[in-house]
Amino acid sequence: MSYPLTNFLSKCIFAALIFLMKIILNILVSDDLFTEQFCCDLSKCRGMCCVEGDTGAPLEPLEIVDMEDYYPVFKKYMTPKGISKVEESGFFDYDMEGTLVTPLLDDESCAYVFFEGNIAKCAIEKAFLSGEIEFQKPISCHLYPIRVKILSDYEALNYHHWNVCQSACDNGKILKLPLYQFLKEPLIRKYGVEFYKELLNY
């Protein structure tokens, strides 16, 4: 039985992914989650993941609803430029692949960013940590540096290497903290306690 070349290549790529990843409750998990060590050090990176990059953070449709609902609360933590961007263009944008993402300002920083001293932080999370709202922040931000790739039959969790996170890599090595342990809270938030328990078995 013959297959079109594109179908054949996609099967080869998928087979390669399977070889390099573990399947946990129908989630493909990169070995990097176990082998890479990581722990954010905001005093050194200053939250650069919120202000650099050529696209916003991926969003889930229901997250946009939460952001719209809670906007009157967390708005007070946003910058004037961020407020103008959201109120003129909306709570989300699209990247080149058509994925829903957070809107960016002209300097490529996230519209929801604010600064405490010289450290970039999330206005949404500020309101959450202050006990004012129940939505913490987009799960893609919470999971970073893990990025979620949606495949036909699976979700794949991959480690996104970025030079602005070098201090987090250095700090993780000092603390001997694997990536999956550093991201315990967002992994449970996204996939549940049973998934994380299964993760611990590897």
pLDDT tens digit sequence for 3-40: 344 444 444 444 444 445 688 888 999 999 999 999 99
Domain positions in the chain? 38-200
Q: Is 154 within 8 Å of 13 (Cβ atoms)?
A: no
Q: Which residues of the chain fall short of a pLDDT of 50? A: 1-19
Q: Is 174 helix (H, G, I), strand (E, B) or coil?
A: helix
Q: pLDDT tens for residues 91-102?
A: 999 999 899 999
18-21's contacts with Cβ under 8 Å and 24+ in sequence apart are 21/156
Closest listed residue to residue 123, CA positions, set 110, 107, 142 = 110
Helix axes 184-191 and 193-200, enclosed angle (nearest 10): 130
Distance CA 50, CA 30 (A): 24
Distance CA 48, CA 184 (A): 22
H or E element, residue 22: strand 21-24
